[in-house]
Amino acid sequence: MIEDCIFCKIAHQQMPTELLFQNDQMVVFRDIKPHAPVHWLIVPRKHIRSINDLQPEDGDLIAEMIATARDMAKKAGVNESGYKLLFNVEKGGGQVIFHLHLHLIGGWAKS
């Protein structure tokens, strides 16, 4: 846990945030500034700065993050309509919170 990391604080229950899912490895909560009707964040409890910092031993964690995102998409009711999964990587890639997280985005009106 990194002291001044907001997602470490949320993942270790040091900042009150409604968790939509949690297990030993990760937490899921709503993005505070949603870009779509469903905009949830899948966040590992382990502090990893970005995709660039992944180590070989993090492979299972990444696989679990993606599987959790799939399950949460179903819970949000967007699995059939469709959704985006997004990692922003470093400043140029739009990352502003430097604790690894996967965006689950969906729920747009059907045209």
Interface residue list for ligand AMP (CB under 6 A): 6, 17, 29, 31-33, 41, 88, 94-97
8 lies in the site for Zn ion, by CB under 5 A = yes
DSSP E strand stretches across 1-111: 19-22, 26-30, 38-44, 83-86, 102-106
Residues 6+ apart with CB under 8 A from 70: 79
**From ligand AMP, Zn ion, none, interface partner of 99 (C-beta below 5 to 8 A by class):** Zn ion
Residue 36 or 79: the one with the smaller Cβ distance to ligand AMP is: 36
| AA letter at 60 | D
Out of 39, 99, 101, 103, which one is annotated catalytic?
A: 101
Is there binding between residue 97 and Zn ion (CB under 5 A)? no
Dmax over CA atoms of the chain, in Å, equals 45
- Residue 99 annotated in active site: no
Q: What are phi and psi of 42, to 5 degrees?
A: -100, 115
Pick the binder of Zn ion from 19, 22, 31, 47 (CB under 5 A).
Answer: 47
- Active-site annotation, residues: 101
